Structure 1
Amino acid sequence: MRIHIVNPNTTAAFTEADRKAGAAVAAPGTVVTASEPAEGTPSVESHFDEAVATIGVIEEIRRRETEGVDAFVIACFGDTGLAAAREVARVPVVGMTEAALFAAALVADTFSIVTLPRRTRIHSHRVVASLGMGLAGRCLPIRAVDVPVLYDESEEDAVAKAILAEGRLAIDEEDAEAIVLGCAGIGHLAAPLSDALSVPVIDGVAAGVGMAEMLVRCGLRTSRRSSYAAPPEKILSPRYAALAPLR
């Protein structure tokens, strides 16, 4: 089985971190690969960034699905381009955010999301609300440490401590039973934070790879009945012609 992770931003270091996070939890025999768009934005932390990055996600889906990929994982908290990717791809596509939230709901009654830039909390709220299934009632206030996604490596310890502090507040003040990390770039902190907080701390990339494996093993593919039916066939302008789904 081959699971391919699409990093919607153009930062190669994030892509490699995503690949390692996925490979660490993949079952024996599963090959985890990853890529980022050739062009786009170095990080996704605004509505504008999401719009730009969505094109890159579709380009990577189209490019990689001819390579024998069994399922895709989109590695950006906010699930950039997920709905469009499902229309285009012929194999399952899992968003790291939805995977993390579903995982949290399986191991805890309530959970809190801790993200990086404060402004990205709205993206987390949007995904929680869009998924329905009672998740909004179980998601406690979304917290942020208010640092950019591309924070400097020298700030790693300070960022980890800030996330730990926010997680502790969520547990002590709001009775959070699990913490969801709101950025693909901090997934490597999940295990040490879980040890320090004594609750499950969920990395959406790892959860996404596990969920993608399950879908492939169970023979489940995206329904084409309505919501994710392939886009109507039409002639696209030359700039976007390569994005058209395979028929």
Structure 2
Amino acid sequence: MRIVVTNCNTTQEMTAEIVRGARAAAGPGTTVTGLTPAWGPESAEGWLDSYLSAAAVLDTLRTYDGPPYDAVVMAGFGEHGREGVRELVDVPVVDITEAAAHLACLLGRRYGVVTTLERSCGQIEDSLELAGVGRNCAAVVGTGLGVLHLGDPHRTEAAFLAAAEHAREAGAEVLVLGCAGMTGLQQVVSEKLGVPVVDGVGAAVKLAEALVGMGLRTSRAGSFAKPVPKRRDWRPPAE
């Protein structure tokens, strides 16, 4: 089984980190390939970045010419584009946002998301609502750390623990890592907090493996029906 993991930004180092986390979660016989958009934001932190990122990720998958793949994991937490990708490709598409939330709902009545900047919280809340798992979310709390400032594990851990306290106070019984760049942090913070912590990258990989193993694909009845071909294909703007 081959899973393609799409980074939502153009930072190669983050793609490599996400792929490491995905491979750690993958079962025997699963190959993980990372894709980095050739254009778009270097870090997706807000509405404008997110919409640009969605177009870049869609363009990357539309023009993909590598080995065939069995599933797509979208590694942008709260980012736009997952519905478009489901319409585009003929394999299961799992977004780390909803994957983490679905697994969190199996572990406790209410969950909380700890993410990067406060300005991303509303966008994540909207993404969870659209995925149908918003009602179980107790809180989405920012750490104040930018996506590209997660490289220091001690600083990130301290910021996560501080933000997690607010999520716990709001009623969260399970916590979710609200950024793919936090992958790998789940075990240490879970031990310190005494509650389950779900990593979206690992959750998405496992759900993708399950969907492929069960022979399930995106429904083409209605919402994700294939679009009518157009005479002119779109292209990203020239730089």
* Corresponding position of 2:161: 164
Contact 1:79 1:98 in 2 (8 A): no
Deviation at 1:229, TM superposition (A): 1.0
1:181 alignment partner in structure 2: 177
Aligned to 1:78: 78
Q: 2:223 aligns with which of 221, 224, 227?
A: 227
Where 1:150 maps in the other structure, the secondary structure is helix
- Number of residue pairs aligned between Structure 1 and Structure 2: 236
Residue in 2 aligned with 1:245?
none
* Residue 108 of structure 2: aligned partner: 108
Instruction: Report the CA distance between 1:80 and its aligned residue.
Output: 2.9
Q: Identity of paired residues, percent?
A: 37
Q: In structure 2, what is the equivalent of residue 51 of structure 1?
A: 51
**Structure 2 unaligned blocks of 5 or more:** none
4+ residue runs over 3 A deviation? 63-66
Secondary structure, counterpart of 1:188 in structure 2: coil
- Distance change >3 Å, CA 92–CA 113, structure 1 → 2: same
Unaligned 5+ residue runs, structure 1? 241-247
Aligned counterpart, 1:192: 188
Quick one: structure 1 residues 186 and 214, their matched pair in 2 at CA, closer, same or farther if it must change by over 3 Å? same
Comparing both structures, which one devotes a greater share of its residues to strand?
2
The aligned runs of 1:1-247 (5 Å cut-off) are 1-64=1-64, 67-132=67-132, 135-151=133-149, 153=151, 155-171=152-168, 173-237=169-233, 239=235
Aligned pair in 2 of structure 1 residues 67, 170: CA closer, same or farther (>3 Å)? same
CA RMSD, 1 decimal = 1.6
2:114 counterpart letter in structure 1? V
Shift in CA distance, 58/118, structure 1 to aligned 2, threshold 3 Å: same
* TM-score, structure 2 as length reference: 0.93
Give the 3 Å change call, closer, same or farther, for CA 127–195 of structure 1 in structure 2: same
How far residue 152 of structure 1 moved from its aligned partner, in angstroms, is 6.3
Query: What whole-Å deviation, never above 9, does each CA across 1:17-48 have from its counterpart, x for those lacking one?
Result: 11111110111111111111111110111111
Q: Which amino acid aligns with 1:163?
A: F
